[in-house]
Amino acid sequence: MTAFVRRPSDLAQHPRLNIVIGRILEDDEHLRASMAGYDSVFSSLGTGLFIKGGGGLK
């Protein structure tokens, strides 16, 4: 499993967890690369992202 996070200190460490650091609105290519090879993706983004003017991935 891979977690794409802004602040890795907010996430508990686990030996089977790969942590990738990035910002989803600024690092879309980095995000896409971190998802390569996976069959599914779980997103825990809140609605505040869109309320503040973010448009999400294109």
27 vs 46: which has the higher pLDDT: 27
- Percentage of the chain with pLDDT > 70? 78
Note if the pTM is more than 0.85. Answer: no
34: Cα separation from own chain's centroid: 9
Q: Which of 31, 26, 55 minimizes the C-alpha distance to 43?
A: 31
pLDDT of res. 50: 57
* pLDDT tens, residue by residue, 35-52: 899 998 888 876 555 555
Domain boundaries, the chain: 2-40
pLDDT of res. 19: 92
Tokens of 36: 């390569």
